[in-house]
Amino acid sequence: MNTTMVLPKVLVANRGEIAARIIRTLNRMGIQSVAVHHALDRSAPYVRMANEAFELHGASPIGAYLDIDQLVGVCRQSGAEGVHPGYGFLSENEAFARELVRSGLVWIGPHAEAIAAMGDKIAAKHFAHQHGVTVVPGEHEIIPNTDAAIAVGCRIGFPIMLKASAGGGGRGVRIVRSAGEMAIAFASAVAEAKSAFGDGRVYAEKFIERPRHIEIQVAGDKHGNVIHLGERECSIQRRNQKILEEAPSPAINNSTRNAMGEQATALARAVGYDSVGTVEFIVDQAGQFYFIEMNTRLQVEHPVTEMVTGLDLVELQLRVAAGEQLPLSQDDVRFHGAAIELRLCAEDADNGFVPSAGRVLRFDPPEGEGVRLDSGIESGMTVSPSFDSLLAKLIVHAETRQAAIELLRSATSDLCLLGFPTNLGYLRRLVRHEDFAAGKTHTAFIDDHAAALARPVISAEERDAILAAAALADHELLRSMSETPAPLTEIGAWSNA
């Protein structure tokens, strides 16, 4: 790749692990990096990694990161020419993209019309269908009330899935198996969609039983070139939220891979896509795939694609945003080995995954060849409950899927995070599950294997013995015991999983 960079300085309008990950690429490419942070994030590692940092103010911590005027103001103050939005926050906000362009700044993402076209889930499905993409059977029209929803269910055949038109993150989604369940399901889907998105419109489609979630990474530039970078399988989800992602999928063959890639690039081409993005499909048990949505941003799980293709997707985004051509054609894309990612979250997996927070007493990342950690935390920092629960992503890469699983098992054992409850123990059990190892994954995996994935019950005596042994082995920990008793409950999971 040539190294002339049209953007000398870039502001990262995000926080946590993704801000750190983007800044890493900016630093490597010699681009000046500007971080923004709320007061709660003042001492976060990503703030120190950047060349400059500016504090954002807001009525709420999240509100600070969503304040378009302040962000444009920081660009002016710092002289940043471009803005990378990361994922979440303003990453799929067409108004932000337009405002930056209007202010003479470079939006490091797709053009605003593409965001708008894919942002409305119903419109996106009609658009995709018109361009030869296979969509989930359904009527894909707004449903005004319960009776109309029952009528739609009868026409497309139960079970159906009610979904929010403004959807995202699995919110406003309900599975309805019969007409009798509709009244409650419809009311709660509308209420949830309203509170999550300020838009209570819902539609329905056929509910596919135990599908796999397989998505295609696409990349385009401003010269009309569009390629795909293969698939990621993200079937292991809890309440429609991904926990583990991998590339390649253990379930599809080359002909399905190529067919999905062709449909994904056809859709991207049809919207004139000029950045990196993801076309999501679900695949039924017979192997038929159906489009569900397109995400017009960098995805949380993009590292697995980077590991198997050897590409840096943030670099690709920066280059195409600056007007360069994609540096490779479809024929140049090569895949090597298998990569798997786990999401380490501040969630108490043993207590219904309720969000947790607190001081990180100890964080020892695993190391070694083929192990990557995209992290937003470090020992000593305080994790606030005000933000998303994602703390870090552990990614492994090896020659084969089996070798990647072995590496993941040892890396999760080596990883130590103490201070408050997390999902680490749960992830350790997940990667040791034989059905995962056998590639028998689908979106109901977590529910179907709930008992096997639950924390093993230990007696009070066993727990005390483990605590005593761990404390004796670790003086630092012993010191922290007197200050903070609560985190020690985590040691049971840590030593036992």
Q: Give least dist CB 79 to ligand ADP, A.
A: 37
Which has the closest alpha carbon to 298: 314, 319, 279?
Answer: 314
Tell me how far, at minimum, the Cβ of 84 lies from ligand ADP, in Å.
Answer: 22
* In the complex, minimum distance from the CB of residue 234 to ligand ADP, in angstroms, rounded to a whole number: 7
| Cis peptide, bond prior to residue 8, ω within 30 of zero | no
Catalytic, 280? Answer: no
Closer Cβ to ligand ADP, 128 or 208, answer by number:
208
**Which residues fall within 8 angstroms of residue 286, CB to CB, at 6 or more apart?**
none
Closest separation in Å from C-beta 253 to ligand ADP = 21
Q: Please, which residue, 54 or 445, has the CB nearer to ligand ADP? A: 445
Q: How far is the CB of 136 from ligand ADP (least distance, A)?
A: 4
Which of 233, 293, 306, 324 is catalytic? The answer is 293
Dist CA 445 CA 58 (whole Å):
40
Task: Answer left, alpha or beta for residue 169, where phi above 0 means left and psi between -120 and 50 means alpha.
Answer: left
By C-beta, is 70 or 299 nearer to ligand ADP?
299
Q: 366 near 406, Cβ under 8 Å?
A: no
Centre a 10 Å sphere on the Cβ of residue 441 and count the other Cβ atoms it contains.
Answer: 24
Q: How far is the CB of 413 from ligand ADP (least distance, A)?
A: 29
C-beta of residue 337 within 8 angstroms of C-beta of residue 404: yes
Which residue has 């630092």 as its token pair?
A: 476
Q: Under the rule (CB under 6 A), what is the footprint of ligand ADP? A: 136, 161, 167-171, 173, 205-208, 211, 213, 237, 240, 280, 282, 292-293, 443
Give the torsion through C-alpha atoms of 18, 19, 20, 24, to 10 deg: 100
Short-list 112, 132, 131, 116, CA closest to 274: 112
Minimum CB separation of residue 140 from ligand ADP in Å reads: 11
Nearer to ligand ADP, 86 or 421 (CB): 86
Q: Which residues are catalytic?
A: 293
